[in-house]
Amino acid sequence: MMIEKEIYIIRHGQTDLNAQGIVQGKGVDAPLNELGRKQSDAFFQVYKHVKFDVVYTSSLLRAQQTASQFIALGIPHIIDSNLDEIGWGDAEGKANFTDHSDIFENLTTEWKAGNIYYKMPGGESPFDVQQRQLKFIEALKATDYKTVLIATHGRFIRALMCTLTQRPLSEMDQFDHTNLCLYKIELHTDGSFKIIEHNNQGHLNELMGL
């Protein structure tokens, strides 16, 4: 099978709200903090040699700042709100909505049970996010871009890996992510996607003192 496109998908660098455990979603537009900028630079230093044809980012500042050094090279930059993080609705901006809170655990329990339509009041469900993803994927497939960089968000990436590999969204928590992790994907000529690198953080080793 021939490779049609190579797609590098990164989660944005850290923000102060990430560090404080405050939910951002697509409704809170926080900038990168100092560590987030260092993470972005570390990724750039390792991957600046890659001849990206295009850089896609979400409409959110933290994703755009994460890819800013690539954009500064003159690589075409496309902002697409279909790449925005899931909308957490009433939980956005709140510190008590963490991975260990009852509300969050109830939400993810529903998702793992297959209720992909379940969502916070005012927010989005995994199904809603997947519909955005499908629009983006079809648009990307129609382009001539061969080597693509996408800067997006954590929960979005988890859902996207299911979407690309045709796995149920109930399995999305199997796809780990950290700030500035990399998923590398191949799009084959038969239209199928293959995950080549999963939550790769090797570019951060020096920054983390490893």
> What tokens were used for 90?
């009433």
Amino acid residing at 152: T
CA 77 to chain centre: 16
Q: Is 203 labeled as catalytic in the residue annotation?
A: no
- Which one of 85, 124, 177, 203 is the catalytic residue? 85
Amino acid residing at 123: G
Q: Is 85 labeled as catalytic in the residue annotation?
A: yes
Amino acid residing at 166: Q
**Whole-number Å distance between alpha carbons of 131 and 122:** 17
Q: Which of 90, 92, 47, 97 is nearest to 70 (CA)?
A: 47
> Is 176 in a helix, a strand, or coil?
coil
Crossing angle, helix 126-141 and helix 154-165, to 10 degrees? 60
- Which one of 6, 12, 92, 177 is the catalytic residue? 12
Give the active site residues: 12, 85
